[in-house]
Structure 1
Amino acid sequence: MEAASAETATMVFVYGTLKRGFPNHPRLAAFDCPFAGAATTAAPASLVIGPYSVPFLLPAPTPSSGRLVSGELYSASPSALADLDLLEGTHLGVYERRRITVVVDGTSKEVEAEAYFANASYAEALWLRCGGEAAEIAEYTMEHAGRYVPPSGRSPGVSGLMDAVRAFLATAPPEN
Protein backbone atom coordinates (compact mmCIF):
# COMPACT_ATOMS: atom_id res chain seq x y z
CA MET A 1 0.00 0.00 0.00
CA GLU A 2 1.31 3.50 -0.83
CA ALA A 3 1.94 6.16 1.77
CA ALA A 4 -0.65 8.91 1.69
CA SER A 5 0.18 11.87 -0.51
CA ALA A 6 -0.44 15.39 0.76
CA GLU A 7 -3.29 15.91 -1.73
CA THR A 8 -5.28 12.80 -0.85
CA ALA A 9 -4.32 12.27 2.77
CA THR A 10 -6.81 12.47 5.60
CA MET A 11 -5.52 13.18 9.06
CA VAL A 12 -6.75 10.60 11.57
CA PHE A 13 -6.69 11.12 15.34
CA VAL A 14 -6.23 7.90 17.34
CA TYR A 15 -6.60 7.80 21.11
CA GLY A 16 -6.47 4.14 22.14
CA THR A 17 -5.15 0.79 21.00
CA LEU A 18 -3.83 2.20 17.71
CA LYS A 19 -1.29 4.51 19.37
CA ARG A 20 2.42 3.72 19.11
CA GLY A 21 3.39 0.90 21.50
CA PHE A 22 -0.23 -0.20 22.01
CA PRO A 23 -1.77 -3.54 20.96
CA ASN A 24 -3.27 -2.56 17.59
CA HIS A 25 -0.56 -0.18 16.40
CA PRO A 26 1.01 -2.83 14.13
CA ARG A 27 -2.27 -2.89 12.21
CA LEU A 28 -2.15 0.88 11.74
CA ALA A 29 1.47 0.60 10.60
CA ALA A 30 0.43 -2.11 8.11
CA PHE A 31 -1.96 0.41 6.53
CA ASP A 32 1.11 2.60 5.86
CA CYS A 33 -0.15 5.64 7.74
CA PRO A 34 2.76 7.92 8.63
CA PHE A 35 2.88 9.37 12.15
CA ALA A 36 2.21 13.11 12.06
CA GLY A 37 2.55 13.97 15.76
CA ALA A 38 1.00 13.81 19.19
CA ALA A 39 -2.17 15.83 19.63
CA THR A 40 -4.99 16.65 22.01
CA THR A 41 -8.63 17.34 21.27
CA ALA A 42 -9.32 21.08 20.96
CA ALA A 43 -12.65 20.72 22.76
CA PRO A 44 -13.61 18.41 25.60
CA ALA A 45 -14.80 14.93 24.63
CA SER A 46 -15.70 11.93 26.73
CA LEU A 47 -13.32 8.97 26.65
CA VAL A 48 -14.55 5.88 28.50
CA ILE A 49 -13.43 2.27 28.72
CA GLY A 50 -16.00 -0.30 27.61
CA PRO A 51 -16.05 -4.08 27.38
CA TYR A 52 -12.73 -5.82 26.70
CA SER A 53 -10.98 -2.61 27.86
CA VAL A 54 -11.79 -1.05 24.49
CA PRO A 55 -11.72 2.77 24.53
CA PHE A 56 -14.68 4.71 23.19
CA LEU A 57 -14.62 8.41 22.34
CA LEU A 58 -17.96 10.19 22.68
CA PRO A 59 -19.11 13.74 22.14
CA ALA A 60 -19.35 15.30 25.61
CA PRO A 61 -22.97 14.47 26.59
CA THR A 62 -23.42 17.44 28.93
CA PRO A 63 -21.91 20.94 29.05
CA SER A 64 -19.95 20.04 32.19
CA SER A 65 -18.66 16.68 30.94
CA GLY A 66 -15.66 15.80 28.86
CA ARG A 67 -11.93 16.33 29.01
CA LEU A 68 -9.23 17.21 26.54
CA VAL A 69 -8.22 13.80 25.21
CA SER A 70 -4.64 12.90 24.28
CA GLY A 71 -3.80 10.90 21.19
CA GLU A 72 -1.78 10.78 17.99
CA LEU A 73 -2.24 11.99 14.42
CA TYR A 74 -1.62 9.87 11.36
CA SER A 75 -1.90 10.60 7.66
CA ALA A 76 -4.12 8.09 5.86
CA SER A 77 -4.59 7.52 2.14
CA PRO A 78 -8.15 6.81 0.92
CA SER A 79 -7.43 3.06 0.87
CA ALA A 80 -5.90 3.18 4.36
CA LEU A 81 -8.97 5.08 5.58
CA ALA A 82 -11.19 2.34 4.13
CA ASP A 83 -9.06 -0.27 5.96
CA LEU A 84 -9.39 1.70 9.20
CA ASP A 85 -13.17 1.93 8.75
CA LEU A 86 -13.27 -1.85 8.41
CA LEU A 87 -11.01 -2.35 11.43
CA GLU A 88 -13.18 -0.01 13.52
CA GLY A 89 -16.41 -1.72 12.49
CA THR A 90 -18.12 1.33 11.01
CA HIS A 91 -20.13 -1.04 8.79
CA LEU A 92 -21.34 -2.88 11.93
CA GLY A 93 -22.33 0.23 13.86
CA VAL A 94 -19.52 -0.08 16.42
CA TYR A 95 -17.82 3.22 15.62
CA GLU A 96 -18.54 6.10 13.30
CA ARG A 97 -15.90 8.36 11.84
CA ARG A 98 -16.39 12.04 12.61
CA ARG A 99 -14.51 15.27 12.01
CA ILE A 100 -12.73 16.65 15.05
CA THR A 101 -10.34 19.53 15.71
CA VAL A 102 -7.13 18.67 17.52
CA VAL A 103 -4.17 20.73 18.67
CA VAL A 104 -0.69 19.46 17.85
CA ASP A 105 1.17 19.02 21.13
CA GLY A 106 3.76 21.70 21.87
CA THR A 107 2.16 24.15 19.44
CA SER A 108 -1.04 26.12 19.09
CA LYS A 109 -1.61 24.64 15.61
CA GLU A 110 -5.14 23.30 15.14
CA VAL A 111 -5.67 20.46 12.68
CA GLU A 112 -8.89 19.04 11.31
CA ALA A 113 -8.84 15.26 11.57
CA GLU A 114 -11.14 12.27 11.52
CA ALA A 115 -11.65 10.24 14.71
CA TYR A 116 -13.60 7.11 15.54
CA PHE A 117 -16.45 7.81 17.96
CA ALA A 118 -18.80 5.31 19.57
CA ASN A 119 -21.81 5.03 17.30
CA ALA A 120 -24.51 7.57 18.20
CA SER A 121 -27.05 4.75 18.58
CA TYR A 122 -25.52 3.72 21.92
CA ALA A 123 -22.99 6.44 22.86
CA GLU A 124 -24.97 8.15 25.62
CA ALA A 125 -26.11 4.82 27.12
CA LEU A 126 -22.47 3.67 27.16
CA TRP A 127 -21.39 6.89 28.87
CA LEU A 128 -24.07 6.46 31.54
CA ARG A 129 -23.35 2.73 32.00
CA CYS A 130 -19.63 3.44 32.44
CA GLY A 131 -20.38 5.96 35.18
CA GLY A 132 -20.81 9.25 33.33
CA GLU A 133 -18.42 12.06 34.18
CA ALA A 134 -16.80 10.01 36.95
CA ALA A 135 -15.60 7.45 34.39
CA GLU A 136 -14.15 9.88 31.85
CA ILE A 137 -10.43 9.74 31.27
CA ALA A 138 -8.06 12.06 29.42
CA GLU A 139 -5.81 9.32 28.09
CA TYR A 140 -5.93 5.62 27.30
CA THR A 141 -2.83 4.31 29.08
CA MET A 142 -0.70 1.18 29.07
CA GLU A 143 -2.54 0.16 32.25
CA HIS A 144 -5.81 0.15 30.28
CA ALA A 145 -4.12 -1.63 27.38
CA GLY A 146 -2.87 -4.32 29.80
CA ARG A 147 -6.52 -5.37 30.29
CA TYR A 148 -7.37 -5.10 26.57
CA VAL A 149 -8.76 -8.27 25.01
CA PRO A 150 -7.85 -8.54 21.32
CA PRO A 151 -10.47 -9.77 18.85
CA SER A 152 -8.93 -13.26 18.91
CA GLY A 153 -9.77 -13.55 22.63
CA ARG A 154 -13.37 -12.35 22.37
CA SER A 155 -16.63 -14.13 21.71
CA PRO A 156 -16.67 -15.40 18.15
CA GLY A 157 -18.74 -13.79 15.46
CA VAL A 158 -18.56 -10.87 13.11
CA SER A 159 -20.28 -8.55 15.56
CA GLY A 160 -18.44 -9.76 18.67
CA LEU A 161 -17.58 -6.31 20.02
CA MET A 162 -21.03 -4.94 19.24
CA ASP A 163 -22.60 -7.96 20.99
CA ALA A 164 -20.36 -7.28 24.00
CA VAL A 165 -21.41 -3.61 24.01
CA ARG A 166 -25.09 -4.62 23.95
CA ALA A 167 -24.56 -7.12 26.80
CA PHE A 168 -22.58 -4.51 28.78
CA LEU A 169 -25.37 -1.95 28.35
CA ALA A 170 -27.96 -4.51 29.50
CA THR A 171 -26.23 -5.06 32.86
CA ALA A 172 -26.42 -2.86 35.91
CA PRO A 173 -23.33 -0.81 36.76
CA PRO A 174 -21.23 -2.15 39.65
CA GLU A 175 -22.03 -0.84 43.12
CA ASN A 176 -19.42 1.53 44.57
Structure 2
Amino acid sequence: MVFVYGTLKRGFPNHPLLAASGSPLVGAASTATPASLVVGPYSVPFLLPRPSSSSGSHLVSGELYAVSPRALVDLDALEGTHLGVYERRKVTVVVEGGSGEVVEAEAYFAHTSYMEALWLRCGGEAAEIGEYTMEHAAKDLDPQLQVALKGYLVARGVNSKLASSLSKLAQAHFTTIWLRRSGGNI
Protein backbone atom coordinates (compact mmCIF):
# COMPACT_ATOMS: atom_id res chain seq x y z
CA MET A 1 0.00 0.00 0.00
CA VAL A 2 1.23 3.47 -0.86
CA PHE A 3 -0.11 6.71 0.61
CA VAL A 4 0.12 9.63 -1.84
CA TYR A 5 -0.33 13.23 -0.72
CA GLY A 6 0.78 15.38 -3.64
CA THR A 7 1.17 15.20 -7.39
CA LEU A 8 0.19 11.51 -7.57
CA LYS A 9 -3.34 12.20 -6.30
CA ARG A 10 -6.29 12.10 -8.70
CA GLY A 11 -6.46 15.26 -10.79
CA PHE A 12 -2.78 16.15 -10.34
CA PRO A 13 -0.02 16.03 -12.99
CA ASN A 14 1.60 12.71 -11.99
CA HIS A 15 -1.61 10.75 -11.40
CA PRO A 16 -1.78 9.38 -14.97
CA LEU A 17 1.44 7.49 -14.26
CA LEU A 18 -0.08 5.88 -11.16
CA ALA A 19 -3.33 5.13 -13.00
CA ALA A 20 -1.42 3.51 -15.86
CA SER A 21 0.17 1.09 -13.40
CA GLY A 22 -3.24 -0.44 -12.68
CA SER A 23 -2.95 0.33 -8.97
CA PRO A 24 -6.45 0.43 -7.49
CA LEU A 25 -7.51 3.26 -5.22
CA VAL A 26 -8.29 1.94 -1.74
CA GLY A 27 -9.73 5.28 -0.69
CA ALA A 28 -9.13 8.72 0.71
CA ALA A 29 -6.88 8.59 3.74
CA SER A 30 -4.96 10.77 6.15
CA THR A 31 -1.95 10.30 8.37
CA ALA A 32 -2.86 8.82 11.75
CA THR A 33 -0.72 11.42 13.54
CA PRO A 34 0.19 15.02 12.65
CA ALA A 35 2.96 15.27 10.08
CA SER A 36 5.08 17.96 8.44
CA LEU A 37 4.02 18.60 4.84
CA VAL A 38 5.55 21.58 3.06
CA VAL A 39 5.52 22.91 -0.48
CA GLY A 40 9.06 23.31 -1.74
CA PRO A 41 10.50 25.16 -4.72
CA TYR A 42 8.44 24.96 -7.90
CA SER A 43 5.41 23.78 -5.94
CA VAL A 44 6.85 20.32 -5.22
CA PRO A 45 5.27 18.82 -2.07
CA PHE A 46 7.44 17.12 0.54
CA LEU A 47 6.40 15.06 3.53
CA LEU A 48 9.23 15.47 6.01
CA PRO A 49 10.70 12.58 8.02
CA ARG A 50 10.73 14.50 11.27
CA PRO A 51 8.62 14.19 14.37
CA SER A 52 5.95 16.81 14.25
CA SER A 53 4.99 18.25 17.58
CA SER A 54 4.50 21.81 16.39
CA SER A 55 1.16 23.54 16.59
CA GLY A 56 1.38 24.08 12.83
CA SER A 57 1.31 20.36 12.07
CA HIS A 58 -1.75 18.70 10.62
CA LEU A 59 -3.08 15.31 9.75
CA VAL A 60 -2.02 15.09 6.12
CA SER A 61 -4.76 14.23 3.61
CA GLY A 62 -4.15 12.01 0.62
CA GLU A 63 -5.10 8.78 -1.10
CA LEU A 64 -4.20 5.16 -0.44
CA TYR A 65 -3.38 2.80 -3.33
CA ALA A 66 -2.72 -0.93 -3.51
CA VAL A 67 0.36 -1.11 -5.73
CA SER A 68 2.09 -4.08 -7.31
CA PRO A 69 5.82 -4.67 -6.87
CA ARG A 70 6.33 -3.52 -10.49
CA ALA A 71 4.38 -0.31 -9.88
CA LEU A 72 6.49 0.30 -6.77
CA VAL A 73 9.66 0.12 -8.88
CA ASP A 74 8.15 2.67 -11.29
CA LEU A 75 7.10 4.95 -8.42
CA ASP A 76 10.59 4.76 -6.91
CA ALA A 77 12.02 5.87 -10.27
CA LEU A 78 9.48 8.68 -10.58
CA GLU A 79 10.22 9.93 -7.06
CA GLY A 80 13.98 9.80 -7.56
CA THR A 81 14.76 7.43 -4.71
CA HIS A 82 17.91 6.37 -6.61
CA LEU A 83 18.98 10.04 -6.66
CA GLY A 84 18.23 10.63 -3.00
CA VAL A 85 15.38 13.06 -3.71
CA TYR A 86 12.71 11.12 -1.84
CA GLU A 87 12.87 8.02 0.31
CA ARG A 88 10.07 5.53 0.80
CA ARG A 89 9.18 5.09 4.49
CA LYS A 90 6.47 3.50 6.55
CA VAL A 91 3.51 5.62 7.59
CA THR A 92 0.31 4.81 9.47
CA VAL A 93 -2.83 6.13 7.79
CA VAL A 94 -6.53 6.08 8.50
CA VAL A 95 -8.83 5.22 5.60
CA GLU A 96 -11.63 7.76 5.51
CA GLY A 97 -15.25 6.84 5.14
CA GLY A 98 -17.29 4.28 7.00
CA SER A 99 -14.52 1.88 8.03
CA GLY A 100 -11.98 4.24 9.57
CA GLU A 101 -9.52 1.37 9.13
CA VAL A 102 -5.95 2.00 10.32
CA VAL A 103 -3.44 0.80 7.72
CA GLU A 104 0.34 0.52 7.62
CA ALA A 105 1.48 1.90 4.28
CA GLU A 106 4.49 3.54 2.70
CA ALA A 107 4.87 7.11 1.49
CA TYR A 108 7.57 9.15 -0.19
CA PHE A 109 9.32 11.50 2.23
CA ALA A 110 11.93 14.17 1.51
CA HIS A 111 15.36 12.61 1.82
CA THR A 112 16.83 13.13 5.28
CA SER A 113 19.99 14.69 3.80
CA TYR A 114 18.20 17.97 3.05
CA MET A 115 14.89 17.83 4.91
CA GLU A 116 15.86 20.25 7.71
CA ALA A 117 17.15 22.87 5.26
CA LEU A 118 14.02 22.43 3.16
CA TRP A 119 11.75 22.82 6.20
CA LEU A 120 13.53 26.04 7.21
CA ARG A 121 13.57 27.45 3.66
CA CYS A 122 9.84 26.82 3.31
CA GLY A 123 9.12 28.74 6.51
CA GLY A 124 9.20 26.09 9.23
CA GLU A 125 6.09 25.51 11.31
CA ALA A 126 4.21 28.37 9.64
CA ALA A 127 4.53 26.70 6.25
CA GLU A 128 3.18 23.27 7.22
CA ILE A 129 -0.06 22.33 5.50
CA GLY A 130 -2.55 19.51 5.86
CA GLU A 131 -3.45 19.11 2.21
CA TYR A 132 -1.64 19.73 -1.06
CA THR A 133 -4.12 21.43 -3.41
CA MET A 134 -4.26 22.53 -7.04
CA GLU A 135 -3.52 26.07 -5.86
CA HIS A 136 -0.23 24.81 -4.43
CA ALA A 137 0.53 22.81 -7.58
CA ALA A 138 0.11 25.80 -9.90
CA LYS A 139 1.82 28.40 -7.72
CA ASP A 140 5.38 28.41 -9.04
CA LEU A 141 5.10 26.75 -12.43
CA ASP A 142 6.92 28.61 -15.14
CA PRO A 143 4.34 29.14 -17.92
CA GLN A 144 6.98 29.65 -20.62
CA LEU A 145 8.73 26.40 -19.69
CA GLN A 146 5.39 24.57 -19.66
CA VAL A 147 4.50 25.81 -23.15
CA ALA A 148 7.95 24.98 -24.52
CA LEU A 149 7.96 21.45 -23.09
CA LYS A 150 4.41 20.78 -24.24
CA GLY A 151 5.18 22.07 -27.75
CA TYR A 152 8.25 19.86 -27.94
CA LEU A 153 6.23 16.77 -26.97
CA VAL A 154 3.30 17.53 -29.29
CA ALA A 155 5.72 18.04 -32.19
CA ARG A 156 6.97 14.51 -31.56
CA GLY A 157 3.51 12.96 -31.71
CA VAL A 158 2.42 13.01 -28.06
CA ASN A 159 -1.26 13.92 -27.67
CA SER A 160 -1.89 17.36 -26.21
CA LYS A 161 -3.43 16.30 -22.88
CA LEU A 162 -0.62 13.85 -22.10
CA ALA A 163 1.98 16.40 -23.24
CA SER A 164 0.54 18.93 -20.79
CA SER A 165 0.81 16.46 -17.90
CA LEU A 166 4.30 15.39 -18.91
CA SER A 167 5.54 18.97 -19.18
CA LYS A 168 4.43 19.62 -15.57
CA LEU A 169 6.06 16.37 -14.50
CA ALA A 170 9.31 17.31 -16.23
CA GLN A 171 9.44 20.67 -14.47
CA ALA A 172 8.83 18.98 -11.11
CA HIS A 173 11.64 16.52 -11.82
CA PHE A 174 14.05 19.26 -12.87
CA THR A 175 13.35 20.75 -9.45
CA THR A 176 13.87 17.56 -7.47
CA ILE A 177 17.07 16.72 -9.35
CA TRP A 178 18.32 20.24 -8.66
CA LEU A 179 17.49 19.80 -4.95
CA ARG A 180 19.51 16.60 -4.79
CA ARG A 181 22.48 17.94 -6.74
CA SER A 182 22.59 21.06 -4.60
CA GLY A 183 23.30 18.83 -1.61
CA GLY A 184 20.48 20.41 0.32
CA ASN A 185 21.78 23.94 -0.27
CA ILE A 186 18.41 25.31 -1.10
Name the TM-score, length of structure 1 as normaliser.
0.81
Q: CA deviation at 1:144?
A: 1.1
Counterparts of 2:14 and 2:118 in 1: how far apart (Å)?
A: 22
1:161 paired residue number: 176
Match of 2:122 among 115, 130, 137: 130
Q: Is there any run of 5+ residues in structure 2 with no aligned partner, and where? A: 142-167
Match of 1:117 among 90, 109, 133: 109
Q: Deviations over 1:66-118 (max 9, x none)?
A: 21000000010101101000000000000000010000112431001010000
- CA contact under 8 A between 1:37 and 1:72: conserved in structure 2? yes
Q: CA deviation at 1:50?
A: 0.7
1:7 paired residue number: none
Match of 1:152 among 160, 167, 170: 170
Q: Is residue 81 from structure 1 mapped to residue 75 from structure 2 by the alignment?
A: no
Q: Is residue 100 from structure 1 mapped to residue 91 from structure 2 by the alignment?
A: yes
- CA contact under 8 A between 1:129 and 1:169: conserved in structure 2? no
Q: CA deviation at 1:167?
A: 5.4
Q: CA deviation at 1:147?
A: 2.9
Write 1 or 2 for the structure with the bigger share of helix: 2
Compared with structure 1, are the counterparts of its residues 153 and 119 closer, same or farther at alpha carbon in structure 2 (3 Å cutoff)?
closer
Q: Is residue 38 from structure 1 mapped to residue 53 from structure 2 by the alignment?
A: no
- CA contact under 8 A between 2:93 and 2:103: conserved in structure 1? yes
Q: CA deviation at 1:152?
A: 3.0
- CA contact under 8 A between 1:51 and 1:165: conserved in structure 2? no
Compared with structure 1, are the counterparts of its residues 168 and 82 closer, same or farther at alpha carbon in structure 2 (3 Å cutoff)?
closer
Q: Is there any run of 5+ residues in structure 1 with no aligned partner, and where? A: 1-10, 172-176
Q: Deviations over 1:127-161 (max 9, x none)?
A: 111111000000000111223642434686xxx52
Secondary structure of the 2:66 match is strand
Question: What fraction of aligned residue pairs are identical, expressed as a percent?
Answer: 67
The aligned amino acid for 1:142 is M
Name the TM-score, length of structure 2 as normaliser.
0.77
Compared with structure 1, are the counterparts of its residues 118 and 35 closer, same or farther at alpha carbon in structure 2 (3 Å cutoff)?
same
Compared with structure 1, are the counterparts of its residues 164 and 60 closer, same or farther at alpha carbon in structure 2 (3 Å cutoff)?
closer
Q: CA deviation at 1:166?
A: 6.0
Aligned length: 158
Compared with structure 1, are the counterparts of its residues 34 and 163 closer, same or farther at alpha carbon in structure 2 (3 Å cutoff)?
same
Secondary structure of the 2:11 match is coil
CA RMSD of aligned residues (A): 2.2
